[in-house]
């Protein structure tokens, strides 16, 4: 159990460090690379929670897909890599309040032990259960999310094809 805990702290520290670079880094490409590491750290946390499927999907979708596209967009935008990104803007106070509120809420939830946040039952293999749950109990939310994604995709195409 101690090993698990030690790994948790290592991973958490790594994730936080990477996330810090993402938020505070001045170079946008470096920030994007750090984002990849942050996602990997989160995937590691998933593994510690016995959610291997989620971890693999996290790496596949977020690292292999989304961040790559992000980097792609950065590189295609001419010379954006050269300009130092502004770390702080006018809404810093507002976002700080929002962040602090979220943190407080999470701390409260963790300490109070809200039932939904207690550990899931140990399963020998998570993916069949996940699949069944998505296609039975949570079929409607799942479809709603797909429609949302479809809408996002259509919107992106419309934006890209301006003429």
Residue 57 engages another protein in binding (rule: CB under 8 A) = yes
Q: Report angle CA 138, 140, 146 to the nearest 5 degrees.
A: 105
> Buried b vs exposed e over 130-163: b needs ≥16 C-beta within 10 Å?
beeeeeeeeeeeeeeeeeeeeeeeeeeeeeeeee
Using CB under 8 A, which of the segments 53-61, 110-118, 141-149, 151-159 binds another protein? 53-61
Give the integer Cα–Cα distance in Å for 111 and 131: 31
Among residues 11, 36, 42, 45, the one that binds another protein under rule CB under 8 A: 36
CB of 103 to another protein, least distance (A): 29
* Nearest residue to 38 via CA among 5, 57, 16: 16
Task: Kindly tell me which of 68 and 144 has the beta carbon lying closer to another protein.
Answer: 68
126 in contact with another protein (CB under 8 A): yes
Q: Least distance to another protein from the beta carbon of 56, Å?
A: 4
**156 lies in the site for another protein, by CB under 8 A:** no
Q: Establish if 69 lies at the interface with another protein (CB under 8 A).
A: yes
**What SS3 class is residue 67?**
helix
Which burial class, exposed, middle or buried, applies to 105 when counting CB atoms under 10 A from its CB (0-12, 13-18, 19+)?
exposed
Nearer to another protein (CB atom), residue 60 or residue 97? 60
Structure tokens at 89: 């803007």
The verdict on 59 binding another protein (CB under 8 A) reads yes
Residues that bind another protein (CB under 8 A): 2-3, 26-27, 29-30, 33, 36, 40, 52-53, 56-57, 59-60, 63-65, 67-69, 71-72, 75-76, 78-79, 81-82, 84, 124-127, 162-163
């Amino acid at each position: 159990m101690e090993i698990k805990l030690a790994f948790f702290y290592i991973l958490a520290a790594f994730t936080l460090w990477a996330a810090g670079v993402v938020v505070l880094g001045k170079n946008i490409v470096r920030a994007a690379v750090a984002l990849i590491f942050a996602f990997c750290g989160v995937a590691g946390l998933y593994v510690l929670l016995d959610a291997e499927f989620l971890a693999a999907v996290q790496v596949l979708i977020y690292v292999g897909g989304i961040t790559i596209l992000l980097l792609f967009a950065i590189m295609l935008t001419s010379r954006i890599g050269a300009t130092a990104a502004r770390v702080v803007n006018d809404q810093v106070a507002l976002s700080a309040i929002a962040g602090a509120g979220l943190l407080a809420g999470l701390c409260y939830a963790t300490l109070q032990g809200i039932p939904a946040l207690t550990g899931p039952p140990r399963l020998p293999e998570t993916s069949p259960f996940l699949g069944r749950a998505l296609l039975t109990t949570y079929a409607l939310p799942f479809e709603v999310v797909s429609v949302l994604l479809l809408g996002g995709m259509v919107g992106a195409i419309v934006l890209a094809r301006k003429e």
